Amino acid sequence: MSRDALRRDRNFEQHGRRMRLFILGFGYSAGHFVRRFGGSFSHIAGTVRDPAKRQGVAGFEAHSFSGSSPDCETVERVRDADVLLVSIPPGSAGDPAIATFANVLASGRRRKIIYLSTLGVYGDHGGAWVDESTPPRATLERTRMRLAAEHAWMAAGRGDVAVLRLAGIYGPGRNALATLRAGTARRIIKPGQVFNRIHVDDIAGAIMATVRHQGGGTWNVCDDEPAPPQDVIAYAAKLAGIAPPAEEAFETAEMSAMARSFYAGNARVSNAKLKRELGVTLAYPTYRQGLDALWDAGEGR
């Protein structure tokens, strides 16, 4: 272990056993983080949209929040949190979480805020390599709102905000093997199009590295190998021993407006800063290693 990594661990050990975690938006990635690293915190709470989900969420105190008017207990939990993990996306009216809790964050103690954003803010670079120093090209309304949310959280956090820009997320139950099994996988061909991806295990590791890290910043959380989306489906089909779906031209494929909009961003995104500054070593540096592990675990069978 490097000297910097040892110092980070010692710093976390001094304070982490007493740290209280609050999650705004207990979804797929946040839930995976809690399952892996929940034992590092003395108390874990967070919000869910559906009150029915208040029951049966292991190791976690659930609070109902649908974008406005949280109850007093929720406000107090946010106020008392040492680490605030934010995974609620902005809507057409902006970020509901920052609008609701800005006054709470402006008062009281300093805390670590980790905001889960998206690589979509980089926009279209024609497949060229980009990194955190590359100015975003947020041309879509949803990516402009996401970039505005990044800025709002950075301002609210008084210097200790980590923005993690996530690639396309996959993992247990959410992957090309599962879509093949369900019969919903498609091989849509747009020449020159590439995407980065990230396994949910590596998202959890990046979040924990950020908790341990002193200070804030922006980091890309993505794999080492941006690749055409049709290649991922073809590799999953090879693992499953089945023929891949037929190719479909992007120009004529029937797709929702939202699905088509994802192809507006085309860039190869570097994760070098994540590795260099946070000491992250990816468990699944390419989609092939991630799908191999998922297949071995029984996905898509």
pLDDT tens for 2-56 read 445 444 444 444 444 479 999 999 999 999 999 999 999 999 999 998 766 555 5
Residue 127's region, left for phi above 0, alpha for psi from -120 to 50, else beta, is left
Q: What is the pLDDT of residues 163-176, one digit of tens each?
A: 999 999 999 999 99
pLDDT (mean) for 280-293:
98
Distance CA 86, CA 78 (A): 11
Q: Which CATH fold topology does 3-170+196-224+267-284 show? A: Rossmann fold (3.40.50)
Q: What are the extents of the domains in the chain?
A: 3-170+196-224+267-284
Contact present, 172 and 250 (Cβ < 8 Å): no
Tokens of 221: 């959380």
Q: Is 4 helix (H, G, I), strand (E, B) or coil?
A: helix
State how far the Cα of 25 lies from the Cα of 78, in Å rounded to an integer.
12
Name the helix (H) or strand (E) containing 251. Answer: none
Q: What is the pLDDT of residue 38?
A: 93
**Phi, psi torsion values for 84, nearest 5 degrees:** -115, 115
Q: Give the per-residue pLDDT at 108.
A: 67
Give CA–CA dist 66/38, Å, rounded. Answer: 24
Q: What is the pTM of this model?
A: 0.93
Identity of the residue numbered 285: P
Q: How is residue 285 written in tokens?
A: 């540096």
Q: What angle do CA 75, 76, 82 make, to 5 degrees?
A: 105
Query: Residue 105: pLDDT above 70?
Result: yes
Q: Where are the alpha helices (DSSP H) in the chain?
A: 3-16, 28-37, 72-80, 96-106, 141-156, 176-182, 200-212, 229-240, 257-261, 272-278, 287-296
C-alpha to C-alpha distance for 162 and 28, rounded to whole angstroms: 19
Name the DSSP class of 295.
H
